[in-house]
Chains A and B, each alone.
Chain A
Amino acid sequence: MNTSIWHRDNAEAVVAEARNLLNRQLPQASRRKFLARGLTLGGLGLLAGCSIEDNATAQAALTRISQFNDRVQGWLFDSSRLAPTYPESMITRPFPFNAFYDESKVPEVDEARFLLEVTGLVADKHRWTLHELRALPQYTQVTRHICVEGWSAIGKWGGPRFGDFLRAVGADLGARYVGFQCADDYYTSIDMATALHPQTLLALDWDGQPLPPKYGFPMKLRMPTKLGYKNPKHIKAIFVSNTFNRGYWEDQGYNWFGGS
Chain B
Amino acid sequence: MQPLWLRITHWLNALAVLIMVMSGWRIYNASPIFDFAFPDNITLGGWLGGALQWHFAGMWLFALNGFAYLLLNLITGRFGQRMFPVSARGIVRDAWLALTARLSHADMSHYNQVQRAAYLFAVVDLILLVLSGLVIWKSVQFPLLRELLGGYDMARRIHFYCMTAIVCFVAVHLLMVVLVPRSLLVMLLGRSTLRSVNKESTS
Contact = CB atoms under 8 A, between A and B. Distances in A.
A63 B138 contact: no
Contact of B47 (A27, A76, A81, A144): A27
Given A63-B53, A76-B138, A148 B152 contact: no
Interface stretch (B24-32, B85-93, B97-105, B176-184): B24-32
Given A27-B47, A63-B53, A69-B56, A149 B30 contact: yes
Given A62-B54, A254-B52, A146 B139 contact: yes
B42 interface: yes
Contacts of A135: none
Nearest to B152: A152
Contacts, number: 98
A66 B30 contact: no
B46 A31 contact: yes
Interface stretch (A36-44, A115-123, A169-177, A180-188): A36-44
Given A43-B18, A146-B152, A150-B27, A31 B50 contact: yes
A150 B156 contact: yes
A28 B33 CA distance: 27
A62 B41 contact: no
Nearest to B146: A84
A144 B17 CA distance: 30
B4 to A, nearest CB: 19
B47 A30 contact: yes
A147 B152 CA distance: 12
Nearest to B32: A150
Given A76-B138, A254-B52, A260-B140, A34 B57 contact: no
Contact of A224 (B50, B140, B153): B140
A47 B45 CA distance: 12
Interface residues on B, range: 35 or more
Interface class of chain A by DSSP: mixed
Contacts of B54: 62
A152 B153 contact: yes
A78 B141 contact: yes
A102 to B, nearest CB: 18
Interface in A191-208: none
Interface in A33-87: 34, 37-38, 41, 43, 46-47, 61-63, 65-66, 69, 73, 76-78, 81-84
Contacts of A224: 140
Contacts of A65: 53, 56-57, 60
Interface in B53-75: 53-54, 56-57, 60
B31 A260 contact: no
A107 interface: no
B130 interface: no
Contact of B138 (A41, A61, A84, A260): A260
B118 interface: no
Interface in B121-146: 136, 138-141, 143, 146
Interface of B: 14-15, 18-19, 22, 27-28, 30-31, 33, 40-50, 52-54, 56-57, 60, 136, 138-141, 143, 146, 152-153, 156
The 8 closest A-B CB pairs, nearest first, are: A31-B46, A253-B49, A149-B30, A149-B31, A150-B31, A62-B53, A65-B57, A151-B31
23 contacts: A30-B47, A31-B46, A38-B41, A41-B42, A43-B22, A46-B15, A46-B18, A47-B18, A47-B44, A66-B57, A76-B141, A81-B140, A83-B140, A146-B139, A146-B152, A148-B48, A149-B30, A150-B33, A253-B49, A254-B52, A255-B56, A259-B141, A260-B138
Given A150-B28, A253-B50, A253-B52, 4 more contacts: A27-B47, A31-B45, A62-B57, A152-B152
